[in-house]
Structure 1
Amino acid sequence: MPHLSSRFNKTRIAPTPSGYLHVGNVLSFAVTALLARKSGAKTLLRIDDLDQPRVNKLYLQDIFDTLNFLEIPWDEGPRNLQEFEAGYSQLHRMPLYMQALNQLADERLVFACSCSRSRLDAGDECLCFDKQIALSSENTSWRLLTTNNNDIQVKGYSGNIIKTTLPEGMHNFVVRKKDGFPAYQLTSVIDDLFFGVDLVVRGEDLWPSTLAQHLLANVLGENNFADVTFYHHPLLMEAGKKISKSSGAVSIRYLRESGKKPTDIYIMIAGMLGIKDPINNWEELAGRVIMEVKL
């Protein structure tokens, strides 16, 4: 498929090594790769591995095995586990994350929170801001103050500008976890800026994260983030729920070991999306998903 004139510099595939990759991940990878090809962007493989207790070398290796087995291309980033550990792990970028966290602390834009996730999930209100807990306290996370919830503008793939505000469920979101490691929202912003990503492709379920990351970039003074284009693709569903890494029967590793070929997997994904046209590879699958996008 020929390139159109280049519209973007770089996009990224950004899996987390917390389980074996599944068909939902593959759909996202395929859509990312095709949008990159159509718009002249390079594709970076960025593996988000800061959730260290859940990182497993088997899961890391599975990322490379899955991409290679399904012939989904990427242009930059590690080609194997050794290259990833030597130069691409997020652990190498910890100074950048800590610089951003220190900036937020110095400008008094964060507060310490001792609430447990189970308590908040149960609907309890977080009152930690009123308690003025010291940021240096042990077993506390840091939350971004989002009381001044200004309008957020997101640039869509078709060039449209979406104006909205942070959803209530994302108010005062976590930027540093209780273990002292930076949280996903912060690392994702810093990484995209560090690598020069200007096209982000992700599932519809991550729309709240897109808004949170725009707000965070704004308060950090990273105005270039507003120029990043976002495309949110539909999700694969199973029994009415989003597929997760606990769904072992749809992991690529399981399907591969069961004798499935790449074409079989792409046909399976197409069927889950209600696509009845013949599908032979990742390009045809992604093409059906994004056919309504204005290029």
Structure 2
Amino acid sequence: MPPPVFRFAPSPNGYLHLGHAYSALLNADLARASGGKLLLRIEDIDRTRCRPAFEQAIYEDLSWLGLAWDGEVRRQSDHLALYHGAVERLSALGLIYPAFESRAEIARLVAVKETAAPWPRDPDGAPLYPGLGKQLSATKRADLIAAGVPYALRLDMTAAIALAGELSWQELGSGPDGETGSIAARPEAWGDVIIARKETPTSYHLSVVIDDALQGITEVVRGADLFWSTSVHRLLQHLLGLPAPVYRHHALLRDAEGRKLSKSTGSTGLRELRAAGVSPVDIRTMVGLGSAL
């Protein structure tokens, strides 16, 4: 049986903080304990926020923590054509449609609907897509695209679920309410999620399942905030004929007010902690991992 393959996949849209350190160190510990591999992936599809300086800082912070990875670093921005091909496959199945409402227009539509009753929200708290993109004729869609109107490519969730049927994943960690073991996927909770945009031929949901499959990832270790996103990932894996890794979601590190750590929290940034004289050993203690395996 081949050794397990883990990955750490940060986005270079800010500096790493203690939460990133915990996830990276946990992946490294699990890979080492199982005789497996640890891969590094740079998830840089958001070209408006990702910066080369942040990417370089990722390498510096991980090296300072004493982490090394196997093989070459995979950068998502080098594989946009590959993601576009997956969109085309989903489109050929009749599962993709363009939606032309802006974020502001969507907010207005939700506000109107909520004058009558609460509008459903996804597990992250964002309102489900309320627009009429799915109802536009092929001619109208073509006209809007030809006119240069911005659009998002959305997954027809009802049609996708009808094609895929019931799905589940194997959870070795736990979800927000302690869910573990075999977890029934609930992709319908996300509505018609965005798969790509006019200016970016992929989304996080799409690129992450393609990359995990192509890199041979066998165990995805990540924060519990992505637990229910796995429902969408399982659906896309099934639709695209990709293997499903097992998942291990871990608790999130939080600040003194109980908020999830973010890249804007300088007090938890690895660069700031390093400058203050904190050592890599101290970091392991701070995130609750103790000494290295």
TM-score by length of 1: 0.79
Runs of 4+ in 1 over 4 A off after TM superposition: 118-123
Contact 2:109–2:131 under 8 Å retained in 1: no
| Closer/same/farther in 2, CA of residues 254 and 102 from structure 1, 3 Å limit | same
TM-score by length of 2: 0.80
Aligned equivalent of 2:115:
none
Structure 1 residue 140 and structure 2 residue 122: aligned?
A: no
CA offsets, 1:196-245, max 9 Å, x none?
111111110001221111101112233x22xx111000001121221111
Contact 1:13–1:46 under 8 Å retained in 2: yes
Structure 1 residue 127 and structure 2 residue 113: aligned?
A: no
Structure 1 residue 256 and structure 2 residue 274: aligned?
A: yes
- The alpha-carbon deviation at position 7 of structure 1 amounts to 6.8
SS at match of 2:153: strand
Aligned 1:91-110 pairs, distance under 5 A: 91-110=77-96
Q: How many residues align?
A: 257
User: Take 2:192 and 2:28, find their aligned partners in 1: how far apart are those partners?
Assistant: 33
User: What is the percent sequence identity of the aligned residues?
Assistant: 32
Structure 1 gaps, min length 5: 1-5, 79-87, 285-295
SS at match of 1:52: coil
User: Take 1:12 and 1:74, find their aligned partners in 2: how far apart are those partners?
Assistant: 9
Structure 1 residue 37 and structure 2 residue 32: aligned?
A: yes
| Closer/same/farther in 2, CA of residues 36 and 241 from structure 1, 3 Å limit | same
User: Take 1:103 and 1:68, find their aligned partners in 2: how far apart are those partners?
Assistant: 39
| Closer/same/farther in 2, CA of residues 122 and 21 from structure 1, 3 Å limit | farther
- The alpha-carbon deviation at position 8 of structure 1 amounts to 4.2
| Closer/same/farther in 2, CA of residues 247 and 163 from structure 1, 3 Å limit | same
- The alpha-carbon deviation at position 121 of structure 1 amounts to 5.8
Aligned 1:78-227 pairs, distance under 5 A: 78=73, 88-120=74-106, 124=110, 125-132=130-137, 134=141, 137=145, 138-148=149-159, 149=161, 150-157=165-172, 160-166=181-187, 168=189, 170-222=190-242, 224-225=243-244
Q: Which amino acid aligns with 1:128?
A: G
Aligned equivalent of 2:252:
235
Contact 1:154–1:230 under 8 Å retained in 2: yes
SS at match of 1:139: coil
SS at match of 1:245: coil
Contact 1:152–1:166 under 8 Å retained in 2: no
Structure 1 residue 12 and structure 2 residue 4: aligned?
A: no
CA RMSD of aligned residues (A): 2.3
SS at match of 1:242: coil
